[in-house]
C-alpha cells in the first residue's frame, strides 16, 4: 500500500505487464472484488486505488459521510489475492494546495445533456479529472470499470479517445445481490425497511426490458419509460430523479423510438430516504449481441465504444 505519487511511480516500474488498474473510492464490496478478479485473470499485475475524490461530490452530497475504511479494504484485497499494489493517496497528495492551489481540471463537454450529468452538476468534471490524474500516475495498460456507473463508463471511453490516453477501458457487468439490487458502497446507508424496497429499482428496469424483448418488441421511448415508472411508483417511498433512455454510443437522450439495431442505455436515479441509487440495463437486439460475442460482424465492431458495450 503506497500513499504518495512518488512511491506509486517507483512501484509501477517494478510491475510486470500488462498492468491493469481498478480505481475505487473504497468501502469495497463483492462488485469491486470481482472487477479485481477479472483484472487479475487477464493481466500480469493489478493496481487498485482507494481515494474518495472530493471534486466529484457536489455541495450537499455525501462526501463527508462516504464510508472510509482503508484497513478493512486492504484486508479484503489481501484475502482475495488479485491485487499487486494499492494506491491510497491523501486529498493533499492529489490536489496540492501549496505553493499554489491545484487549478487544472478536465471538463467533459459531450455528455452535458445526459440526465445523470444534469442531476449532478460538476460530478463528471470531477470524475474525468481524477481518473486522468490516476491514469497519469499509475500508467495502466487497461482500466476496469463496473457497468453500474454506465454514464461514467461512457465518459471514460470518450475521454480516453479524445485525450489519447494509451489505456484500454474494460467494462464488467453490474454485480447484483441475490434479490437484484445492484451492489454499491452506498447501499450501506439503507435502513432495513429501505433495503427491502431497494430491489424494486432493478425490477422496474426488468419490466422495461421485458417490454423491449417480449412479443410486443416495444421500441417507443415513452412506453419504455412508463413501464419503468409504473413499477417504481408502486413504492411511494421511492422518489424518482430521472429515467433516461440514451444512445449507447453517445450518451444522448433518444427522443422518440429506438433504432432497431443501435443499442440504448435505460438508466435511472431514485432517492430512497437519504440515499441516491442508480442502476441501468442495456437494451439491444440479441442477435447483434450474440454475433458480436462470437466475433462476427467485424465491420460494425470497428466502433470501439459499441464494441466495448457489446462485450457486456
Ligand atoms: O466509480 C468510482 O468509484 C469513482 O467515480 C472513481 C472512478 C473511482 C473516480 O473517483
Tell me: the pLDDT tens digits for 200-238? 999 999 999 999 999 999 999 999 999 999 999 999 999
C-alpha count within 13 angstroms, C-beta hemisphere, residue 136? 10
Atom of ligand 1 nearest to the CA of 56: 10
Q: Whose CA is nearest to atom 7 of ligand 1?
A: 23
Does 291 score more than 90 pLDDT? no
Atom of ligand 1 nearest to the CA of 24: 8
- Reported for 116-124, long-range contacts at CB under 8 A and 24+ positions apart, including other chains, are 116/151, 116/242, 116/244, 116/267, 116/269, 116/278, 117/151, 118/242, 119/241, 119/242, 119/269, 120/58, 120/61, 121/58, 122/55, 122/56, 122/58, 123/56, 123/57, 123/58, 124/56, 124/151, 124/152, 124/155
How far does the centroid of ligand 1 lie from the alpha carbon of residue 127, in Å? 6
Atom of ligand 1 nearest to the CA of 149: 1
pLDDT of residue 249: 87
Cell numbers for 149, please give them: 456507473
Q: Which comes out higher in pLDDT, residue 165 or 303?
A: 165
User: pLDDT class for 118, splitting at 50, 70, 90?
Assistant: very high
pLDDT of residue 162: 96
Does 22 score more than 70 pLDDT? yes
Q: Whose CA is nearest to atom 5 of ligand 1?
A: 127
**53-76 pLDDT, tens per residue?**
999 999 999 999 999 999 999 999
Q: Can you tell me whether residue 247 is helix, strand or coil?
A: strand
How far does the centroid of ligand 1 lie from the alpha carbon of residue 26, in Å? 9
**30-40 pLDDT, tens per residue?**
999 999 999 99
Ligand 1 site residues, Cβ closer than 6 angstroms: 23-25, 53, 56, 127, 130-131, 149, 152
Cα–chain-centroid distance for residue 274? 21
How far does the centroid of ligand 1 lie from the alpha carbon of residue 25, in Å? 6
User: Which of the listed residues 21, 22, 25 should we mutate to test ligand 1's pocket, taking the one with most ligand atoms within 8 A of CB?
Assistant: 25
Q: Cβ distance 58 to 120 under 8 Å?
A: yes
User: pLDDT class for 261, splitting at 50, 70, 90?
Assistant: low
- Reported for 61-65, long-range contacts at CB under 8 A and 24+ positions apart, including other chains, are 61/120, 62/186, 62/189, 65/189
- Paired sense of beta strands 168-172 and 142-146, if any: parallel
pTM: 0.92
Choice among 126-130, 131-135, 186-190, 295-299 with the minimum mean pLDDT: 295-299
Does 271 score more than 60 pLDDT? yes
Q: Cβ distance 72 to 46 under 8 Å?
A: no
How far is Cα 148 from Cα 137, in angstroms, rounded to an integer? Answer: 25
pLDDT (mean) for 168-190: 97
Amino acid at each position: 500500500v503506497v500513499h504518495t505519487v512518488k512511491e506509486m511511480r517507483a512501484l509501477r516500474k517494478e510491475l510486470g505487464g500488462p498492468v491493469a488498474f481498478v480505481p475505487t473510492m473504497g468501502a469495497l464490496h463483492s462488485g469491486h472484488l470481482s472487477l479485481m478478479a477479472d483484472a487479475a485473470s487477464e493481466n500480469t499485475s493489478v493496481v487498485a486505488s482507494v481515494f474518495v475524490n472530493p471534486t466529484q461530490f457536489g455541495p450537499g452530497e455525501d462526501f463527508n459521510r462516504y464510508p472510509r475504511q482503508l484497513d478493512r479494504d486492504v484486508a479484503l484485497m489481501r484475502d482475495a489475492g488479485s491485487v499487486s499494489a494499492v494506491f491510497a493517496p491523501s486529498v493533499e497528495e492529489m490536489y496540492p494546495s501549496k505553493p499554489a492551489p491545484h487549478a487544472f481540471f478536465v471538463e467533459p463537454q459531450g455528455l452535458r445533456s445526459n440526465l445523470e450529468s444534469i442531476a449532478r452538476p460538476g460530478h463528471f468534471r470531477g470524475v474525468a479529472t481524477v481518473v486522468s490524474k490516476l491514469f497519469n500516475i499509475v500508467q495502466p495498460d487497461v482500466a476496469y470499470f463496473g457497468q453500474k456507473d454506465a454514464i461514467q463508463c461512457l465518459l471514460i471511453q470518450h475521454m480516453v479517445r479524445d485525450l489519447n490516453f494509451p489505456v484500454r477501458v474494460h467494462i464488467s457487468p453490474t454485480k447484483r445481490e441475490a434479490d437484484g439490487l445492484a451492489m454499491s458502497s452506498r447501499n450501506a446507508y439503507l435502513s432495513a425497511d429501505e433495503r427491502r424496497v431497494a430491489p424494486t429499482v432493478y425490477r422496474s428496469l426488468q419490466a422495461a426490458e421485458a417490454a423491449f424483448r417480449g412479443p410486443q418488441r416495444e421500441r417507443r421511448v415513452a412506453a419504455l419509460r412508463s413501464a419503468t415508472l409504473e413499477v417504481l411508483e408502486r413504492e411511494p417511498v421511492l422518489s424518482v430523479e430521472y429515467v433516461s433512455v440514451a444512445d449507447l454510443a453517445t450518451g444522448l437522450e433518444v427522443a422518440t423510438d429506438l433504432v432497431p439495431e443501435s443499442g440504448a442505455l435505460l438508466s435511472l436515479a431514485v432517492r430512497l430516504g437519504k440515499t441516491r441509487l442508480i442502476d441501468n440495463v442495456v437494451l439491444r437486439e440479441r442477435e447483434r449481441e450474440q454475433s458480436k460475442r462470437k466475433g462476427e460482424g467485424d465491420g460494425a465492431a470497428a466502433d470501439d465504444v459499441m464494441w466495448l458495450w457489446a462485450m457486456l
